[in-house]
Chains A and B, each alone.
Chain A
């Protein structure tokens, strides 16, 4: 464009600016969504796939939320350990974080499910037996002869057992990511805050609890939210344990019906819908926190 067109330029650039502000990608997703909903309501294959996958949504959501709550608790504790001046606490926390970051999540899931979890159940059975025999002097009763499989049965049997293993593995993996988020959040608070708190006579724990963490948590909310989205996606890995989440049900249905395209279209779209809604939520939270400051 030459300079003699200059009266036109602002007009055009305004229009293109407006056009480039439209979230086209979201419109595309919504269009695909409409087509999907249309198919589900009119096409018999699609609707029977959907009613099969629906049950998996509950499992996926349940795995994600439960594992996430544990991950945040583990992450907070490990994050506090990572900023601790006590070398024992610091090294335990660092060892945990490094181990979890260095192992693929899929391997963690397999390891926790088939090594760690059985060991813990065996341990619980052993402790229960010991308490019954030594503590209560009862070597005949139920508790004295309890086995690992008894405990598994008491916890809801094979199906739930695998669910718990998957949740534990995801919580341990993501706990290490949350730990680093908390560590960075705590370290981002100016040193003067801790010094001012200590100079008023607060203990280290009081200063953390009342001064440092309340400020750090505001800063870590957006990255923690992103981790929730990542975990929702990664929860699909528990399908290797046979946990009947969206992915596992998709595998089962497509293998049975050979409707691969129709099934995996819906599997993918279910995840996409959830993650996009969540990421819009995280962005809104981010904006609120920014304007709040």
Chain B
């Protein structure tokens, strides 16, 4: 007996314990996402992966696949909602892409391109956020953090460290580091850590590497994120 759900009418097999996102990725179906990464425990904060399961709105990255689910994913309504969510992510931080080292390689930007987001829709917050350039090799630009916790999870679950955490609530939410001084230089992070590379945005950067690939020749300048994401994430295994 096979376990099967349907996503936009297509039959998608799943294994017991898989989320809708995992089943979809294995079957080559892209569901937009930012805080999901196949190597780490699901977190479910960005809501880009919003789908409709039997008419009910769910996050595909946290929702377990179960027999008989009829999932809507790539519909105009859901993509319109996702675009609004992405616009919110843009206006609540400071995203000046022309002056960001990550431009062209940034997943937040790539999702926005994929959703054909041409404007920010909402008034901009222009929040005051800091840059922590204290560490010799790694820097944090808090202006671009979307609180996805991927750095938190990668540090704990892969690097065996505990460099990052999220503190505060609502509009005061912010990324902190595990050092009394509050500075990255006083943590045990190294440029080779997974946590230093996992950030989907330009919030965590490796110093002196930003312009090794010229703007215009970067990943999402030529490939859409649905294609890139499926290619890379299918290799990560279940």
Chain B binds chain A? no
List residues of chain B with CB under 8 Å of any chain A CB.
Answer: none
A: which residues have CB within 8 A of B? Answer: none
